[in-house]
Structure 1
Amino acid sequence: MSRTVYYTGTSLDGFIATVDHSLDWLVSRDNDPDGAMGYDGFIAGVGAVAMGATTYTWVRDHDPGWVPEGPTWVFTHRDLPALPGADLRFTAADVAQVHAEMVAAAGGKDVYVVGGGDLAGQFADLGLLDEVVVAIAPVTLGAGAPLLPRRVELEVLECARNGEFVCVRYAVRRTPTAA
């Protein structure tokens, strides 16, 4: 059964990108893609990707050889250039309208929400987000794009260290717990 997973990196103070949308602070850090909660192990279980326009633009502009590993929905209200050879589906539709299509395309594998935090929050708002996997970098940014700009109740499932990162995997709680 497919899960919808927000897999991301964050600064210690909870930002996934700088004010000018840069991820340089994140991609310059030491980690092992094959290590604990590493990218390679995660992406092997992914069948479809949901991505925000800002993340798509930054990765496209900063990693010229990048092509998504499978069908990728880019949520945007802008006209963005496609990548040759990529299975990209640009959409301005609500995540609820697209989620079933992504799950079907995933073929039993997971749906990966890659960015940004507001997009992941939209999935959470509708009860469509199952897990949040966060690699916390030893840096503070002071401002920028927040990890999740709304309240989402989580339960710790796993913690590990990978290079410079502390990694935590959470289940999304469907109903808030009493304080």
Structure 2
Amino acid sequence: MSRIVYDTATTLNGWIADEQDSLDWLFAVPGGDEPPEGTYPESATVLVMGSHTYEWVLRHEDLLTRPERWQEWYAGKHTFVFSSRALPIPDGADITLVSGPVADALPRLRAAAGGADIWVMGGGDLAGQFLDAGALDRIAVSVAPAALPGGAPLLPRRVGPDRLRLVSAEAVGPFARLVYEVGPAAE
């Protein structure tokens, strides 16, 4: 069965995007624009993101004007974007817009993955919805040597230490890479 992995970068104080939902802070960190091999779920065949993350990617990569760039980054990966509104899709991109609860979309996501991993790219609230649904299997965080005064939080949920088991912690360039397995919620 597919594992659902939330894999993202965060500031030292726990923000994944700034107050304008931008990831520009990350690209100012050496290596932030090109994560090292093995620091993202390469085996994932399905990508999942929220509308803020998706819209930032569209703008940052100019994907509506240059849709071929989608193929450079995401070729062979079906992408599901959770949004309550219609959003533009670059020509030729394999994107499905989804609305409603994460739990309702899980069968569709797992079917699209065909047993491979599913990568929740962002945002933190969307990852929290997977956690709430009991569907998040792993959290991998690359902590950057940067801090922001506010923005989008890494995971706006209370998660006790009984649910997280540290799998690894290592230095990867300027980042601290932390990987946790997520256990079931206590009943």
Instruction: Normalising by structure 2, report the TM-score.
Output: 0.86
Letter in 1 for 2:70: W
What is the aligned length? 172
Q: How does 1:162-177 map to 2 (within 5 A)?
A: 162-176=172-186
Q: Give yes or no for contact 2:139–2:179 (8 Å, CA) kept in 1.
A: yes
Establish whether residue 120 from structure 1 lines up as the match of residue 131 from structure 2. Answer: no
Deviant stretches of 4+, over 6 Å = none
Establish whether residue 78 from structure 1 lines up as the match of residue 85 from structure 2. Answer: yes
Per the alignment, in what secondary structure is the counterpart of residue 135 of structure 1? strand
Q: Give yes or no for contact 1:48–1:102 (8 Å, CA) kept in 2.
A: yes
Establish whether residue 160 from structure 1 lines up as the match of residue 170 from structure 2. Answer: yes
CA RMSD of aligned residues (A): 1.5
Per the alignment, in what secondary structure is the counterpart of residue 70 of structure 2? coil
Offset of residue 93 of structure 1: 2.1
Per the alignment, in what secondary structure is the counterpart of residue 62 of structure 1? helix
C-alpha distance in 2 between matches for 1:33 and 1:56? 18
C-alpha distance in 2 between matches for 1:29 and 1:9? 11
Gaps spanning 5+ residues in structure 1: where? none
Gaps spanning 5+ residues in structure 2: where? 63-68
Moved more, 65-74 or 125-134: 65-74
C-alpha distance in 1 between matches for 2:98 and 2:164? 28
Q: Give yes or no for contact 2:84–2:100 (8 Å, CA) kept in 1.
A: no
C-alpha distance in 2 between matches for 1:145 and 1:94? 20
Q: Give yes or no for contact 1:59–1:66 (8 Å, CA) kept in 2.
A: no
C-alpha distance in 1 between matches for 2:128 and 2:9? 15
Offset of residue 163 of structure 1: 1.2
C-alpha distance in 2 between matches for 1:33 and 1:112? 15
Q: Give yes or no for contact 1:72–1:87 (8 Å, CA) kept in 2.
A: yes
Q: Give yes or no for contact 1:5–1:132 (8 Å, CA) kept in 2.
A: yes
Q: Which residue of 2 aligns with 1:145?
A: 152
Percentage of matched positions with identical amino acids: 44
Q: Which residue of 1 aligns with 2:66?
A: none
Per the alignment, in what secondary structure is the counterpart of residue 66 of structure 1? helix
Letter in 2 for 1:60: L
Per the alignment, in what secondary structure is the counterpart of residue 167 of structure 2? strand
Find 1:104's aligned residue among 97, 107, 111.
111
Moved more, 12-21 or 149-158: 149-158
C-alpha distance in 2 between matches for 1:38 and 1:175? 27
Establish whether residue 38 from structure 1 lines up as the match of residue 39 from structure 2. Answer: yes
Letter in 1 for 2:35: P
C-alpha distance in 1 between matches for 2:28 and 2:146? 11
Offset of residue 173 of structure 1: 2.0
Instruction: Normalising by structure 1, report the TM-score.
Output: 0.90
Moved more, 117-126 or 69-78: 69-78
